[in-house]
């Protein structure tokens, strides 16, 4: 990846970026060291709310954030010789601006003074054990992301996007059969205007849909959800091998038993990137993401792309990247013009469709780095011949997967055999 010009610009120059976490208690809540740095600063970047917390005697130039946020990076780089100070909410390295700055400028150019995060304060106010909770950010994301974390007796802490997020989350929980879950909304934690409210998801959504729809929640809020599943809830495992009927599909779906083996062969791990080639209804991509990975689904059929997006929303992976594209075109674009957002480098590639496309297997193999995994399934003789050809060239393993399901046979029952699947696994070394 080519670094931005402003990143190269700061290398070799004297100067350091200092990131200071600040809470709702403002300047008075900062450490003596942080206060001293702010008093000596020549230029301070931050949100308007944070800049307004500074006392009047601070003489530094105050530069509020502009939108989009990445447009601030060249401004910070141009001020590097002035040792810019950046104000951030709470702990800058926990879903905060600190991570973005480190990615852009490198940690060697940054000093960080964290304050308690809103999540930490929420646990302190409610007695929740943070280590036992799923922590999710909904900032700039759909509340549907919570669906991947729904389970009986689970606990979720969610960072809100704004004051509407609690009600949207409550409606989603109610529709998913978790209406009896307790939702605690913590507003402006750590300041004079701190407020904590607990109601069931059913009560929150009733207010959102009824006469109290305009009741205001401060945009600075954290949501704590104590999950309770009612009789209408569908309890889905984390994976792999969700029931076939959990997905909207047109018959082109990797069946549950085969999918479980396929996900296992792909070797998912937290943060790993999967390319799902010929994605069908997206079942492999979605299960991969529910296990903590990232995924890109490539599918040439527009109707199936719509299915993928619908399934991703329903199953809690709305961040799934969907490319409506011919396989050759998508892979050529990824190889010649890599884009870290649309085509992050793959740790694993699954080929579920288009297996007989000339040189597709080699193309995918070339895109993988060391330890990358290539997995492919086929039910046709032509596809099997292609997998055998590739196996003879690059090695790996070939398996025949067969599944029988109980089905009606007139007035009796018997075993119905699904089409046998030839299953290839290769690990690049």
Where is the domain boundary, 60, 94, 115? 115
**Domain CATH number, residue 35:** 3.40.1010.10
Q: Are 256 and 385 part of one and the same domain?
A: yes
Q: Are 111 and 124 part of one and the same domain?
A: no
The two three-digit tokens of residue 170, written as one number: 């409550």
- Domain limits at 149? 120-226
- In degrees and rounded to multiples of 5, residue 166 shows phi and psi of -55, -45
Q: Are 203 and 150 part of one and the same domain?
A: yes
Where is the domain boundary, 171, 194, 226? 226
Q: Are 166 and 17 part of one and the same domain?
A: no
With respect to residue 44, please indicate whether it lies within any of the assigned structural domains. yes
With respect to residue 239, please indicate whether it lies within any of the assigned structural domains. no
- In degrees and rounded to multiples of 5, residue 214 shows phi and psi of -95, 5
Q: What is the side-by-side order of every strand in the sheet holding 294-299?
A: 321-324, 294-299, 273-277, 348-351, 373-378, 421-427, 397-401
Where is the domain boundary, 168, 192, 226? 226
Give the count of domains, the chain. 3
Beta-carbon contacts of 115 under 8 Å, excluding residues fewer than 6 positions away, are: 20, 21, 22, 23, 29, 30, 90, 91
With respect to residue 92, please indicate whether it lies within any of the assigned structural domains. yes
Q: Are 40 and 61 part of one and the same domain?
A: yes
Q: Are 140 and 222 part of one and the same domain?
A: yes
pLDDT of residue 209: 65
**Domain CATH number, residue 148:** 3.30.950.10
1-27: string of b/e by CB count within 10 Å (b at 16+)? eeeeebbeebeeeeeebbbbbbbbbbb
pLDDT in tens, the chain (429 residues): 445 544 444 544 578 999 999 999 999 999 999 999 999 999 999 999 999 999 999 999 999 999 999 999 999 999 999 999 999 999 999 999 999 999 999 999 899 999 999 999 999 999 999 999 999 999 988 899 999 999 999 999 999 999 999 999 999 999 999 999 999 999 999 999 999 999 999 999 887 665 454 568 999 999 999 999 999 999 998 879 999 999 999 988 999 999 999 999 999 999 999 999 999 999 999 999 999 999 999 999 999 999 999 999 999 999 999 999 888 888 777 776 656 566 789 999 999 989 999 999 999 999 999 999 999 999 999 999 999 999 999 999 999 999 999 999 999 999 999 999 999 999 998
- Answer yes or no: pTM beyond 0.75: yes
State the Cα–Cα distance between residues 288 and 275, nearest whole angstrom: 10
With respect to residue 398, please indicate whether it lies within any of the assigned structural domains. yes
With respect to residue 105, please indicate whether it lies within any of the assigned structural domains. yes
Q: Are 16 and 157 part of one and the same domain?
A: no
Q: Are 140 and 253 part of one and the same domain?
A: no
Pairing state of beta strands 273-277 and 294-299? Answer: parallel
**Domain CATH number, residue 253:** 3.40.50.150
State the Cα–Cα distance between residues 172 and 255, nearest whole angstrom: 28
CA angle centred on 312, ends 146 and 230, rounded to 5°: 45
Q: Are 187 and 270 part of one and the same domain?
A: no
With respect to residue 232, please indicate whether it lies within any of the assigned structural domains. no
For residues 324 and 279, the answer to whether their CB atoms sit within 8 Å is no
pLDDT of residue 334: 73
Which is nearest to 136 in space by CA: 205, 224, 23, 242? Answer: 224
Q: Are 302 and 421 part of one and the same domain?
A: yes
Beta-carbon contacts of 348 under 8 Å, excluding residues fewer than 6 positions away, are: 266, 267, 268, 272, 273, 274, 275, 368, 372, 373, 374, 375
For residues 281 and 304, the answer to whether their CB atoms sit within 8 Å is yes
- In degrees and rounded to multiples of 5, residue 141 shows phi and psi of -130, 160
Q: Are 82 and 203 part of one and the same domain?
A: no
CA angle centred on 269, ends 267 and 274, rounded to 5°: 70
With respect to residue 233, please indicate whether it lies within any of the assigned structural domains. no
The two three-digit tokens of residue 127, written as one number: 């007695």
Q: Are 28 and 130 part of one and the same domain?
A: no
Pairing state of beta strands 397-401 and 421-427? Answer: antiparallel
With respect to residue 236, please indicate whether it lies within any of the assigned structural domains. no
């Amino acid at each position: 990846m080519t670094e931005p010009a402003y990143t190269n610009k700061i290398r070799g120059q004297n100067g350091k970026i200092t990131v200071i976490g600040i809470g709702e208690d403002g300047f008075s809540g900062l450490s003596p060291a942080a206060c001293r740095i702010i008093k000596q600063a020549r230029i301070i970047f931050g949100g308007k709310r944070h800049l307004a917390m500074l006392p009047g005697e601070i003489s530094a130039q105050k530069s509020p954030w502009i939108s989009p946020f990445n447009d601030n990076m060249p401004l910070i780089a141009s001020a590097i010789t002035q040792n810019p100070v950046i104000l951030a909410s709470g702990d800058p390295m926990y879903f905060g601006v600190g991570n973005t700055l480190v990615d852009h400028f490198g940690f060697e150019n940054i000093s960080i003074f964290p304050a308690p995060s809103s999540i930490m304060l929420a646990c302190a106010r409610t007695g929740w054990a943070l280590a036992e909770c799923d922590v999710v950010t909904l900032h700039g994301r759909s509340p549907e992301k919570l669906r991947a974390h729904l389970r009986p007796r689970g606990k979720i802490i969610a960072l809100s996007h704004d004051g509407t997020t609690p009600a949207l989350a409550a409606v989603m929980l109610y529709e998913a059969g978790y209406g009896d879950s307790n939702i605690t909304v913590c507003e402006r934690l750590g300041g004079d205007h701190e407020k904590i409210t607990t109601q069931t998801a059913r009560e929150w959504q009733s207010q959102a849909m009824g006469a109290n729809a305009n009741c205001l929640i401060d945009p600075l809020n954290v949501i704590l959800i104590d999950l309770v599943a009612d009789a209408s809830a569908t309890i889905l495992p984390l994976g792999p091998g969700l029931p076939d009927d959990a997905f909207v599909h047109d018959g082109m779906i990797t069946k549950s038993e085969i999918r479980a083996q396929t996900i296992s062969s792909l070797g998912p791990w937290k943060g790993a990137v999967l390319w799902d080639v010929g994605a069908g209804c997206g079942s492999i991509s979605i299960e991969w993401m529910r296990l903590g990975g990232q995924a890109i689904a490539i599918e040439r059929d527009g109707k199936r792309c719509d299915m993928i997006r619908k399934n991703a929303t329903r199953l809690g992976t709305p961040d799934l990247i969907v490319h409506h594209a011919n396989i050759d075109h998508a892979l050529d674009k990824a190889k010649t013009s890599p884009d870290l957002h649309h085509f992050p480098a793959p740790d694993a590639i699954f080929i579920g469709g288009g297996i007989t496309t000339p040189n597709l297997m080699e193309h995918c193999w070339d895109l993988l780095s060391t330890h990358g995994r290539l997995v492919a399934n086929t039910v046709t003789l032509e596809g099997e011949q292609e997998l055998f050809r590739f196996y003879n060239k690059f090695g790996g393993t070939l398996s025949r997967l067969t599944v029988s399901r109980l089905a009606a046979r007139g007035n009796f029952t018997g075993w119905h055999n699904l089409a046998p699947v030839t299953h290839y696994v290769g690990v690049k070394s």
